[in-house]
Amino acid sequence: MRSNGTCFDGQLLRPVRWLIACHPILLVMILSSSAAGGDTSILKPPNGSVVAIVVFEDLQCVGCASAAPALEEIARTENVPLIRHDFPSPAHDWARKAAVFARFFDSRSKKIGDEFRRHIFAEQLQITSDNLSALAAQFAARHNIGLPFAIDPDGRFVQQVQQDIKLGLRVGVQHTPVVFVVTTAANPSVVEVDDAEHLSRVVIEMKAKASKGR
């Protein structure tokens, strides 16, 4: 049964290796399939890059919060883009709203948008649907950004989040986080990974193939 992107589904079937890689004392179990039966060939690196890391994440997902530092570190170390896609679970009461706030901050600068995501992950266990807006306002104030009462009057940011959800469903994402390494210069061109050690190795291998013109 598909989980529609839930981070935890009640059916606790396998360890989240991302969570263990970042926090060895934690053992969390989730659905056994992550991207099953989807068309991953539609995932591509951005223009100008031959290798990229792609993650589908939910800002209310504990596993996503644990995976995020490793993803950013490997992307930085290996000098490859980290492409984030929102995949908020309908079971999470503030995840979609947080994703919309993140898109608002992206519109000011991608750097600030990513910093907001880090802040949400860091404060995740203290966030509720009631205090999320206040937290976003405090973040905006620290960055000298005016946060309007209506942050998305034309629905542009909601549409961007919805487009990511549609992409995730097309790819076959069933829960978060789901991480891929994508390339234009190797076969296979898309590899799903489930822990930081594997991710680093796959990125290095794909970069090596790309440098050889394969």
Give residue 195's identity as a one-letter amino acid code.
Answer: D
| Cα 83 from Cα 75, distance rounded (Å) | 10
User: pLDDT digit string (tens) for 69-124?
Assistant: 999 999 999 999 999 999 999 999 999 999 999 999 999 999 999 999 999 999 99
- Rounded to two decimals, what is the model's pTM? 0.84
Residue with tokens 């992206």: 106
Q: What is the largest CA-CA distance in the chain?
A: 53
Confidence of residue 45 (pLDDT cuts 50, 70, 90): very high
Count CB neighbours of 66 within 10 A: 21
- H or E stretch at 55: strand 51-57
Confidence of residue 143 (pLDDT cuts 50, 70, 90): very high
Q: Is the pLDDT assigned to residue 171 strictly greater than 80?
A: yes
80 vs 12: CA distance, rounded Å:
33
